[in-house]
Amino acid sequence: MPSITLLALLGTVASAAKVCTNVTVPVYINARQAVFDVPTFESNFDAVKFSLDFTNIGMNYTDVVTTGFQTVTGKYNISAKYCKPQGDNKANPVVQVLTHGIGFDKSYWDLSYNNYNYSYIDVAVAAGYHTVSIDRFGIGNSSHADPLNIVQAPAEVSALHEITSMLRNGTFPQVHQKFGKVSYLLTALYPGSSDGVALTGFSMNGTWLGQTLADWNLHLARLNQPLRFGNQSVSRTKTNTAWLSQNVISILQSALSAVGINFSSSDIWQEIATTEVGDIINGWNATVAPPVTLGEIFTLANGAPATSPHTGPALVLTGRQGDCLATGGAAASIPAGVAKAFPNASKFEAYIHPNTGHGINFHYNATGAYNVIQNFFASNGLQSS
């Protein structure tokens, strides 16, 4: 009993440094976007065909499916988490707006593993910052909408701009202070909206986007994770993945054995582990990657201005692993290649963080990277005071 009490107490103390609130932020989205004509995917074959079309070096598939442009407007909700240091009474706090990449949601910034040892928010709050982490429009608990022609990059940026405007003008729900903020596209489309920018795992060079997409092995979310995205009435509490896994293995094992194929249960698991059935078994865990929309894929590398008018400091921090120095001589490193996108930044820095890949927050030395970011902001005039 005493040790349980102690653990609980330690948990309270460890999280006491930051005070967080869940906020639903109503935003008015207004974005000029492409209209794509792509038939609704019915099966995984359609997902494979899409990957083949998108990576076909003989054509620009985005161009092929673009039928026109439209202005998308509407009221949507953005799910946000606002955190600040406990007992904070600084007159001029700086807020960091944290947005996430494909396959993540806002939990990326406040990972609970190992008692929040990987939490970016813990480090930023300890350095005196306030934070607003969001589920991007169309993702997680933010509003969902047509995944092809509504949830595209410009609409997501419009939502982010609304959030930064509300933080600046004091109308962000439950918060009444003035702040500075973040995001590359945001600063390119809305000059002056952000005082400082830190981008992680970011590149202006889309040369390898096709290969990256091919690596993703796209499947339909409905088939891949029916418990989360399907219309089946399966209750989580009634599903037991160990039971499912064991039954699938033994049924397959006897069926194969009946036709003379003698596989061990480990062999059988290898047969199904990389299939849709394996995904259903694995997909039980809520922590598996959320899906991406086609609209986002089409607008990921298209439509962003080549340069940002941003005049504040800009940091690009990327993990050393993943051939971050293999630029073919075009620049010293992939992040260094971003410098020309920020011609007017008061300070530009490309930082290579060692022993780390793209998803910096999941690496052992994540806090090493977090400290580099806080120090960059603090030493460039963006410190809470």
Kindly tell me which of 189 and 385 has the beta carbon lying closer to ligand NAG.
189
Is 15 a binder of ligand NAG (CB under 6 A)?
no
Closest separation between CB of residue 216 and ligand NAG, Å? Answer: 19
Listed in sequence order, the residues at least 6 apart from 167 whose beta carbon sits closer than 8 Å to its beta carbon are: 95, 97, 132, 175, 177, 178, 179, 181
- Token pair belonging to 145: 């909408």
Task: Kindly tell me which residue out of 231, 237, 254, 385 binds ligand NAG, with binding defined by CB under 6 A.
Answer: 231
Interface segment toward ligand NAG; rule CB under 6 A; list 43-51, 73-81, 82-90, 209-217: 73-81
Task: Kindly tell me which residue out of 6, 11, 16, 22 binds ligand NAG, with binding defined by CB under 6 A.
Answer: 22
Query: Distance between CA atoms of 361 and 34, rounded to whole angstroms?
Result: 33
For residues 295-334, which are near ligand NAG according to CB under 6 A? 302, 307, 309, 326-328, 330
Query: Distance between CA atoms of 39 and 148, rounded to whole angstroms?
Result: 10
Task: Kindly tell me which residue out of 7, 59, 63, 246 binds ligand NAG, with binding defined by CB under 6 A.
Answer: 63
Listed in sequence order, the residues at least 6 apart from 244 whose beta carbon sits closer than 8 Å to its beta carbon are: 280, 281
Is 274 a binder of ligand NAG (CB under 6 A)?
no
Question: What character string, x for contact with ligand NAG (CB under 6 A) and - otherwise, covers 190-219?
Answer: ---------------x-x------------
Closest separation between CB of residue 220 and ligand NAG, Å? Answer: 9
Q: List, in sequence order, the alpha helices (H) in the chain.
A: 2-16, 44-55, 61-65, 113-116, 120-126, 153-169, 184-189, 209-216, 221-224, 226-229, 241-258, 265-273, 276-282, 294-299, 366-378
CB-CB neighbours of 202 under 10 Å: 18
Listed in sequence order, the residues at least 6 apart from 25 whose beta carbon sits closer than 8 Å to its beta carbon are: 77, 78, 79, 80, 134, 162, 163, 166, 172, 173
Q: Is 91 exposed, middle or buried (CB count within 10 Å of its CB: 0-12, 13-18, 19+)?
A: exposed
Question: How many chain residues touch ligand NAG (CB under 6 A)?
Answer: 53
Task: Kindly tell me which residue out of 209, 372, 381, 383 binds ligand NAG, with binding defined by CB under 6 A.
Answer: 372
Is 3 a binder of ligand NAG (CB under 6 A)?
no
Question: What character string, x for contact with ligand NAG (CB under 6 A) and - otherwise, covers 155-194?
Answer: -------x--xx--x-x-----------------------
CB-CB contact of 341 with 203 (8 Å): no
Tell me the residue nearest to ligand NAG as measured from the CB: 368
Question: What character string, x for contact with ligand NAG (CB under 6 A) and - otherwise, covers 236-255?
Answer: -----x--------------
Query: Distance between CA atoms of 297 and 310, rounded to whole angstroms?
Result: 25
Kindly tell me which of 60 and 247 has the beta carbon lying closer to ligand NAG.
60
Task: Kindly tell me which residue out of 30, 44, 66, 346 binds ligand NAG, with binding defined by CB under 6 A.
Answer: 66
Task: Give the single-character DSSP code of 230.
Answer: S
Interface segment toward ligand NAG; rule CB under 6 A; list 43-51, 92-100, 113-121, 149-157: 113-121
Query: Distance between CA atoms of 241 and 226, rounded to whole angstroms?
Result: 13
Long-range Cβ contact pairs of 41-47 (< 8 A, separation 24 or more):
41/220, 43/220, 43/223, 44/219, 44/220, 44/223, 44/276, 46/220, 47/218, 47/219, 47/220
Binding site residues, ligand NAG, CB under 6 A: 22, 24, 26, 60, 62-63, 66, 75-77, 79, 105-107, 114-115, 117, 135, 140-141, 143, 162, 165-166, 169, 171, 205, 207, 231, 241, 262, 264, 281-282, 284-285, 302, 307, 309, 326-328, 330, 337, 343-344, 353-355, 365, 368-369, 372
